Amino acid sequence: MHDQEETLAFTEECEVAVTVNGQRYERRVPVRMLLSDFLRHELRLTGTHVGCEHGVCGCCTVLLNGEAVRSCLMFAVQANNLFLTTIEGMAGTQSELHPIQQAFMEKHGLQCGFCTPGVIMSVHSLLHENPDPTDEEIREGLSGNICRCTGYQNIVEAVKLAAERLRPEEVE
Amino acid sequence: MKPPRFRYCAPRILDDALLLLEQQGDETKILAGGQSLVPLLNMRLAAPANLLDINRLAELNYIQPEDGYLALGATVRQCQAEHSPLIQERHPLLIEAIWHIGHMQIRNRGTIVGSLAHADPAAELPALLTCLEGSLLLQKSSGERLLPVEAFFHGYLETALEAGEMVVEARFPWVDPRAGWAFQEFARRSGDFALVGAAAVLTPAEDGTCQKARIAYAGVAGAPVRAWEVERQLEGQPMHEQTLSLAAEAAREVVGADMNDIHATVEYRRVLTAELTRRVLAAAWARRRM
Amino acid sequence: MATRWFGAPVQRLEDPRLLRGKGTYVDDIELPQLLHAALLRSPHAHAKIANIDASAAMALPGVYLVLTAVDLGEVLEPSPLLVPHAALEQPRTQLPLALDEVRYVGEAVAMVVAESRYLAEDALDLIDVDYEPLPVVHSLDVATREDAPLVHADVPGNVAAHLVQQVGDPDAIFASAPHVLRESLLIDRGAAMPMECRGIVAQWDALEEKLTCWISTQAPIPIRNGLAAIFHLPEHKVRVVAPDVGGGFGTKIMMFYPEEILTPFAARLLGRPVKWIEDRREHFISANQERSQEHEVEYAFDEQGTLLAVRDRFLHDAGAYTPYGIIVPIITACTLPGPYRLRHYASEFTVLYTNKVPVSPYRGAGRPHAVFVMERVMDGIARELQLDRLEVRERNFIAPDEFPWDVGLVYQDGGPTKYDSGNYQAGLEKLKALLDYEHFHEQQASARAQGRYLGIGIGCYVEGTGIGPYEGALVSVESDGRVHATTGVTSQGQAHATTLAQIVAEQLGVAIQDVMVTTGDTHAFSWGVGTYASRSATVAGSAMHLAARKVREKAQQVAAELFEAAPEDIELAVGKVFVRDAPHRALTLGQVAISANPLRYAYGENARKLMGMKLAGPRPGPALPEERGAPGLEASAYYSPPHGSFASGVHGAIIEVDLTTGQVSFLKYAAVHDCGRLINPTIVEGQVHGGVAQGIGGAFYERLVYDETGQLSNASFMDYLLPTAAEVPPIVVDHVETPSPLNPLGVKGAGEAGVIPVAALFASAIDDALAPFGVRIREMPLHPCRLYELLQEARSQGK
C-alpha cells in the first residue's frame, strides 16, 4: 500500500490510516500524537493503558504487524498503513475469551487489571515465538511488563496454562 | 509527559531524506526505532524542530554479508537481526549482545544503527562494535564517509555525526572462526542498561595461548571503552588463572573516575568490571575452536 | 444441598470485563466538551515564590484557563488535617496551589486547562515563575541539626510531633537485665507506585447544580463530603465515583491531593468537564511516599533468650506536610512488639518535616519498619546467646491460650492494641516444613564448602487490621432474582465484586454470578470511610453479611406467609425459596421479592408465574404490614468493630549472596499467613504474592534517592526499580485459620500482610549467609553496591 500523495516536507499534521483489530480507521492527527493516545482517545480503544510513557512499564503494549511494541514510544503517524492488534481484538465480540485471557481468569492472573492488557499482548507475542517456554523463559518474556499487584506468581501459572492449551492447535 | 511540538516527515527514498537533512539538518533529529528518542521527547528533555522518520527507507533495510564484515542497514531492527538465520549462523556474538538489550518489546522496534547513533555508553551495541573494531558508514547528500568505530563515539550521547549527516550502515566484522567470543553484563534487573557490560573475542594460537584478544566495555565511561591494557595482558599468554587475574586487575582501570551514580560507586563498578572480565573471558575462551 | 460460597476459591466476577479491555479507569472516561489539565510543579525543594507570570501561557491558542493560588479565592485553604492527634502539635497541610513558598520538588504551583493535554503541557513551559531558593532539609540528619534550616518558618526544630508511650516499667528492667544491646536501624524511602497513576474527571452540571467527579481514589465518600464543604454544595449534589482503580496500595487513600480540588474548581468555573491525569513523572514527585525512619533500639533479655524489655526511639520523616497526621509512626510504635510477650516497652518518636514529598500510608504503613526492628532484635538476641533464631522467637511467642492479649498501647484508631486471637507457633511450624528448616544447615554447609553463600531468614509479624470506625452495606433483591449489593469501600484490585458477592450468596442461597456488587459510588451508597488498613473484608464484609442476613430473614418471613408455614422452616437455596422438606413447591427469590413489594403493577416472567401459583392471599389490613417495615427484599446494615483485629504471619526465604558482586538471588520463598477465616483462598494468596513482590522491591530494588538539593534522583522507572517477573521468585503460600472473635465472619484483614516481614527476613537471611564475615544488616533497602560495601567493611573489621 502506498500513500496517494507523498509530500517531501516537514509537517505538523498528517493523515493516518491504520487497521486495528481488523477494522480500518482514517484520521487526521497532529504528528506528535503518541500511538497510545491515538488508540485510546481518537479510536476510543481504551483497553490499551498508559502507565509510564517512557517505555518501561509495558501497560501500553500492542501488536504492530503481529509484534509486541510499546505504543507510548511510537507516534500515531508511524503506524500509517500498518496493522495493529489491541486487547479488544483478542476475543473480539465472541462470547468466549481468547485462551490466554481464559487462562488468566482461571489462574487469578490479574488483580487491578491495569497492566493486564499489556501483559496479555506480550504473552501472545511470547507464545507465538516460543509455544513451549520454560518457567525461566516465561519470566524473562514477562520482564518487559510490570505488574504491581500479583507478584507475577499467577501470571506465570496462567501463561503455562495458556501455552499448554494453545500448543495442540499449533501442532495441527 | 507529552512530546513538545515538532514537524515530521517520513520519506521513502534515501536521497530525499538526505536532501531534507541538508536543508534543515541543524534542527532535525532522526527517528529510527525511537526507543531512546521518544522517552526523551515525552519527558521534554529533547525538543527538535523536526523529526525525520527513516523507518520507511526500505533501501536501508538490509542484512548483507560482505567480505570481512556483516553490513546492517540503518532500519534493521534488533529483533530482525536476532531472528536472522544468517546472523544466527555467522555472527552469533551479535545475537548474544542483542539478547541483553531491553526487552522483547524494545527490540521489536529498536534498530541496530539507532542504538549506535544514540551513543549511550551503557548500551550493548556500541561496546560490541568497539570490541569488533567495526565501522560506520555515514552519508550526507554531498557524499559518504566510513568511520572506524573509535572515531565515531565522542562521549555521552555524542558522536562524530555532523549536521546533515546520517548513519546508513553499521559494519560488524566477522569473528575469526577459531576465536571464542562472549557478551555478558551485570544489570540491576533483567533488561536494564548494564551497570557494566563487556564483549570479548579471543583468538587462540596453535600453542594453546591467546594469540589475539579484543575486549570492550559498556557502562564504564562516557563512551564505550576498548581495553587495550587488558588485551595486552592476554595476548601471547596461556589462559590460566594468573592471566585472568592480571586481566581482571587491568580491567579495573577502564572505569572512569566520575562513574558514580545511585546504583554503583566507582569502586563497586571497578569490582564488577574485574569480575565481569573474568567471567566474559572464561566464557569466550571456552568457546574457542582448536 | 446448597453450594457453599464462603471459603471457596471461586474465579473473579470482575475478570471477563477487565480481560477484554472493557474496564473503566478514570482516563477511559470521555465526556463531550472535555478539557484537559496539566500542573506546573515546583522545580525547587524549598523556595520563595516572588512572582508568577502566566500571561504567555494564557495567550497560547487552545488554553482556557491558567490558575495560580491567587485565583482560587476562598478555596485557597490548607487541605483538612485528616487524623488529628494531640501529639501532633504542629500540623501543616498543603494549599491546593502554593501561594508564596514551595516546600518540595513537585509541589503544585499552577494549573493549566487546555483543549488537549499536549497543549496544556506546552502552556506550562510558558509560565514564568520567579523563585528565590531557600535552604533545603533533604534528610533526617539535616532536619535534626541544631542549625537546621526550617521547612516551615514557624515550626521550631522542624518537629511536627513527639509521642511517648510506655508499657510496664522498662527502666527498672533495663537496670537489672542480664543482657542489654543497642542498635541503630534505618529504613529509607519508597513508594507504592500503582501502575495507574492518580487521575480525576470533574463535571459540573449547571442545570441541576450538581458536581460529579470520577477519581482514582480509595476514599470516594470522604472526598464527596469534603468537596461539598469546600464548594458549599449540599452533599447530595456531589457525586464521587471511584471507577476501576489501577492499584492504590495506600497512596490513593490520601485526600485531598490538590488536583482533587483544582479540577472540580476549574470544571465549575469553565462550565466544561475537565480531566487531569497524573503522568508517571508527576507521580514520582507529587503522590505521597513512605517508609523513611531512623530507629535507636535497646533491648534487654535473659540467658534463655527471653525478651524482657525494649526501648525504641525513632525519627520519622513526614516530608513537607502532615495531611495524614501521625498515623504511620503510631502504627510503627504499636506494631513493634509483634507476636512476642513484651511486657515492658518504652516507645518514643519524633516526627520531622523535610523538604520532600509528604508521607502517608503505603501498604504496610509503618509496619515493615517495626517488624524490621523487632526481628533484628530477635536475631540480635540469638546471636548474642548463640541460640537458634527460631528458638528465640518460639520462647517469646504469645501462646494460643493467652488471647486476647493487650499490648497496652493506644492504636492508630484510638482503640486498644489488643490481639483478638492468634496461633503463632502453628504458623512457624508450617513454615519450617515448607522451607525444610531442619535440613537447611546441612545444605548451607555443603554450599559453603563450594564457596557459595546461602542464608535463611525468617520474619514474624502481627498486623493490626480491620479497624473502625464502621462500614455499611445495602443488599437488595431485584424482581428477576438477582441481588444488588453496595457498600462504600472501593476496590483497587482486591476483588470486592467477588468476595462480597460470596458473602451475600452464602446468605441468600443464590449463585455469586447473580450478585451484582457496586462499590465506590457515593450515589449508590453514601455512608462509610474507605479502603485502607486491610479493613474491607472485615468491616464492609461484616456489614454485607449482616445486611444479607436481614434480607434472608425478610424473605423467610414473606415466604412463610405465602406458604402458610413458619419462617424458620423456610429455606433459601439455588435461587429458590421453599419450605424445608417440600422443595418441589418453590418460589424463586425474585418472586418473593415481588411479593414483598405490594404494587398494583408487576412486570416480567417472575410476576406472571407468581400469579398462576396457588399461594395464600393477602392478609387483611395495610398492604405493607408494620412488622415488615419497608417494601421489597432490601436491607442495610452497619458494622463497627469493637477494635481492630490482628492478623499474623511468618515468611521465610533462602537466599544466595554473590560475594564478589553483592548480588542476591532467592532460592526459595514461603509465606504462612493467618487472616482468620478465608472468604476466598485464591484471592488471599494473590494478596500475599503481591505484597511479597513489593516487599522484595522495598528490600533490594526500590529506594527513592534524594540529593542534597532535595531533587529526587531516580524519578523514572529506568532508575526506580520495580521488580519484574525475572526478579520475583516463586512464592509458596500456606494458611493458618484462627478465626477472629470480633466479627460475625471470623475474618481478619489480608491486604497489606505480604509486604510486612520481607525487609526483616531479607536482613536476617543476609546476616545468615554472610555470618562467616560477621555482617550485620542495619539498614533497608539494600542494593548490590551497598551490600558489597557492607561486606567489605565487615571483612576489614574482621582482619
Yes or no: say if C174 and C225 are a contact pair by the CB < 8 Å rule. Answer: no
Residue A171 pLDDT exceeds 50: no
C363 backbone dihedrals φ, ψ, rounded to 5°: -15, 120
Residue A99 pLDDT exceeds 70: yes
Any B CB within 8 A of A131 CB: no
Q: Is the dihedral of CA A78, A79, A82, A86 positive or negative?
A: positive
How far apart are alpha carbons A172 and B22 in whole angstroms?
55
Q: Dig out the grid coordinates for C172 from the structure.
A: 527498672
Say which amino acid occupies A32.
Answer: R
Question: From its phi and psi, is residue B97 left (phi > 0), alpha (psi between -120 and 50) or beta?
Answer: alpha
Yes or no: say if C245 and C492 are a contact pair by the CB < 8 Å rule. Answer: yes
Residue A5 pLDDT exceeds 60: no
Residues of chain C with pLDDT under 70: 1-3, 600, 799
How far apart are alpha carbons A139 and C764 in whole angstroms?
27
Any B CB within 8 A of A109 CB: no
Closest CA to C256 of C291, C215, C289, C203: C215
Exposure b/e, C396-434, CB count within 10 A at least 16 = b: bbbeeeebebebbbbbbbebbbbbbbbbbbbbbbbbbeb
Closest CA to B233 of B281, B180, B185: B281
Say which amino acid occupies B230.
Answer: V
What's the pLDDT at C211?
98
Yes or no: say if B167 and B138 are a contact pair by the CB < 8 Å rule. Answer: yes
What's the pLDDT at C608?
80
* Among candidates C27, C493, C692 on the partner chain, residue whose Cβ is nearest the Cβ of A113: C493
> For B79-122, what is the HEC assignment?
HHHHCCHHHHHHCHHHHHHHHCCCCHHHHCCCEHHHHHHHCCCC
Contacts of C348 (CB under 8 A, 6+ apart): C162, C163, C164, C165, C312, C313, C314
Which chains border C (3 or more CB–CB pairs < 8 Å)?
A, B
Contacts of A136 (CB under 8 A, 6+ apart): none
β-strands C210-215, C199-205 pairing: antiparallel
Any C CB within 8 A of A140 CB: yes
Any C CB within 8 A of A28 CB: no
Yes or no: say if C41 and C55 are a contact pair by the CB < 8 Å rule. Answer: no
In this structure, the number of other CB atoms found within 10 A of the CB of residue B238 comes to 12
Yes or no: say if C529 and C488 are a contact pair by the CB < 8 Å rule. Answer: yes
How far apart are alpha carbons C719 and A6 in whole angstroms?
41
Q: Is the dihedral of CA C258, C261, C264, C267 positive or negative?
A: negative
How far apart are alpha carbons C525 and C221 in whole angstroms?
9
**Which residues of chain A neighbour B32 with C-beta distances below 8 Å?**
none
Contacts of B279 (CB under 8 A, 6+ apart): B184
Yes or no: say if C644 and C672 are a contact pair by the CB < 8 Å rule. Answer: no
Determine whether the interchain pair A11/B79 forms a contact, defined as Cβ–Cβ distance below 8 Å: no
Yes or no: say if C52 and C130 are a contact pair by the CB < 8 Å rule. Answer: yes
Determine whether the interchain pair B35/A34 forms a contact, defined as Cβ–Cβ distance below 8 Å: no
How far apart are alpha carbons C631 and C651 in whole angstroms?
51
Tell me the three state secondary structure of residue B269: helix
Residue A3 pLDDT exceeds 50: no
Contacts of C45 (CB under 8 A, 6+ apart): C103, C104, C105, C136, C138, C355, C356, C709, C710, C711
Q: Dig out the grid coordinates for A65 from the structure.
A: 504487524
Contacts of C374 (CB under 8 A, 6+ apart): C310, C336, C337, C338, C340, C760
Tell me the three state secondary structure of residue C64: strand
What's the pLDDT at A6?
61
**Which residues of chain A neighbour C495 with C-beta distances below 8 Å?**
111
**Which residues of chain A neighbour B44 with C-beta distances below 8 Å?**
none
Closest CA to C370 of C314, C414, C424: C314
Task: Catalogue the E-assigned strands of C466-522.
Answer: 471-477, 483-487, 515-519
Closest CA to C389 of C311, C312, C455: C455
Which chains border A (3 or more CB–CB pairs < 8 Å)?
B, C
Residue A75's DSSP bridge partners are A34
* Among candidates B24, B108, B189 on the partner chain, residue whose Cβ is nearest the Cβ of A69: B108
ipTM of the assembly?
0.96
> For C430-478, what is the HEC assignment?
HHHHHHCHHHHHHHHHHHHHCCCEEEEEEEEEEEEECCCCCEEEEEEEC
What's the pLDDT at B92?
98
Q: Dig out the grid coordinates for A143 from the structure.
A: 520482564
Say which amino acid occupies A75.
Answer: F
Residue range A62-89: average pLDDT?
A: 97
What's the pLDDT at C625?
84
**DSSP secondary structure string for all residues of C205-236:** ETTTTEEEEEE--S-HHHHHHHHHHHTT--GG
Yes or no: say if C197 and C279 are a contact pair by the CB < 8 Å rule. Answer: yes
Alpha-carbon torsion, ordered A47, A52, A54, A58, to 10 deg? -50
| Chain A CA closest to residue C283 | A52
How far apart are alpha carbons C570 and C565 in whole angstroms?
8
* Among candidates B28, B35, B104 on the partner chain, residue whose Cβ is nearest the Cβ of A141: B104
Residue A56's DSSP bridge partners are none
Any A CB within 8 A of C681 CB: no
What order do you get walking across the sheet with C471-477 strand by strand?
A: C515-519, C483-487, C471-477, C634-639
Yes or no: say if C259 and C39 are a contact pair by the CB < 8 Å rule. Answer: yes
What's the pLDDT at C3?
64
Determine whether the interchain pair C690/A88 forms a contact, defined as Cβ–Cβ distance below 8 Å: no
Yes or no: say if C398 and C340 are a contact pair by the CB < 8 Å rule. Answer: yes
How far apart are alpha carbons B8 and B6 in whole angstroms?
7
Yes or no: say if C426 and C648 are a contact pair by the CB < 8 Å rule. Answer: no
Distance from CA of C539 to the nearest CA of B (A): 39
Any A CB within 8 A of C316 CB: no
Please give the distance of CA A112 from its chain centroid, rounded to a whole number: 18
What's the pLDDT at C628?
82
Residues of chain B with pLDDT under 70: none
How far apart are alpha carbons C464 and B65 in whole angstroms?
66
Considering only CA atoms, give the Rg of chain C: 28
To which H or E segment does residue C505 belong?
helix C496-508
Yes or no: say if C675 and C748 are a contact pair by the CB < 8 Å rule. Answer: yes
Distance from CA of B109 to the nearest CA of A (A): 7
Query: What are the distances in angstroms from CA A151 to CA A148, B273, C237, C724?
Result: 7, 32, 41, 8
End-to-end CA distance of chain B: 55
Distance from CA of A136 to the nearest CA of C (A): 8
Determine whether the interchain pair B262/C714 forms a contact, defined as Cβ–Cβ distance below 8 Å: yes
What pTM did the predictor assign?
A: 0.96
What's the pLDDT at A169?
55
Distance from CA of C10 to the nearest CA of A (A): 9
How far apart are alpha carbons A100 and B234 in whole angstroms?
51
**DSSP secondary structure string for all residues of C284-297:** HHHS-BB--EEEEE
Closest CA to C213 of C197, C198, C193, C227: C227
Residue C455's DSSP bridge partners are C655
